[in-house]
Amino acid sequence: MPEPTSTADGPALDLPPERLPRHIAVIMDGNGRWAQQRGRPRIEGHRRGADSARAMTEECARLGIEQLTLYCFSSENWKRPRPELDFLMSLLVEYMAQQRAEVVRRGVKVSVIGRREGMPEKALREMDQTIAATRGNTGLHVCLAVNYGGRAELTDAVRTVAREVQTGRLDPEQIAEQTIAEHLYTAGMPDPDLLIRTAGELRVSNFLLWQISYAEIWVTDCCWPDFGVPHLHEAVRDYARRQRRFGGLSTESGLA
């Protein structure tokens, strides 16, 4: 029988490895709200949110989670005030530069999904350097959704498929769900098993619309800067108790 998840570095979850989610995706919401509730500038919430992202990455690696996808910056976030946008971009550059050596040391692989158009050159350069430096790593895969939108991703996939049909490389009658999946930004990645959303909002906010079709959703009222290891453990334990039927019947119910 497999041993429960545990390491010398922290508490065990008392769960067999097969009950853990393979891929966790997170909508990191509530940074600005957290700051405003404390009478602080919104940028302080984003800085504290980056600390939560770092802690989440370390704990997912410790637990043996295969992939963690973090919704860092949506394509709709460009509507925010310019000073906040400038800070978010500078925070991304800082995070990539400062954490690069650490993620390499820990064996973490980093990738980024989203459109590159409109992103500052410095941010793109730092992201590309981190991706290149960690490409050969085989530990936790951290995927950052930056300038990302689910509808934009689907639009880009359809455009690529249409071009392949137009040039004769693809027969329209052969297009299947797998064809679409192979043309998404996330091609080759497993779909999320668990979607976590903070700050109590009950919507998916244009995040991984195709990929979360069968994800288990876990929502907490906790704002992202306050999200810590205990919250992650609570979400994973709740996930482990659920029966994932994918449209069928549970074998444990005796009705399959």
Asked if residue 165 has pLDDT above 80, the reply is yes
191 counts as catalytic? no
pLDDT at 14: 84
> Please, are residues 109 and 133 in contact by the beta-carbon 8 Å criterion?
no
Q: What is the pLDDT of residue 256?
A: 44
- Tell if the pTM clears 0.95, that is, is over it: no
Q: Which of 77, 137, 206, 226 is catalytic?
A: 77
Of 185, 182, 119, 110, the C-alpha closest to 143 is 110
With cut-offs at 50, 70 and 90, classify the pLDDT of residue 245: confident
Provide the pLDDT confidence category of residue 23 given band limits of 50, 70 and 90.
Answer: very high
pLDDT at 175 > cutoff 80 = yes
Q: What is the pLDDT of residue 185?
A: 98
The pLDDT assigned to 2 comes to 41
Domains of the chain: 23-149+192-239 (3.40.1180.10)
8 has pLDDT over 50: no
Q: What is the DSSP string of 6-30?
A: -BTTB------GGGS-SEEEEE---
- Residue 251 pLDDT: 56
pLDDT for residue 12: 66
CB contact at 8 A, 45 and 32 = yes
Cα–Cα distance between 72 and 3 in angstroms, integer? 34
* Residues in the chain, total: 256
- Per-residue model confidence as pLDDT tens digits over 50-71: 999 999 999 999 999 999 999 9
State the residue for tokens 């990645």: 189
Of these residues, 9, 29, 137, 206, which one is catalytic? 29
- 238 noted as active-site residue: no
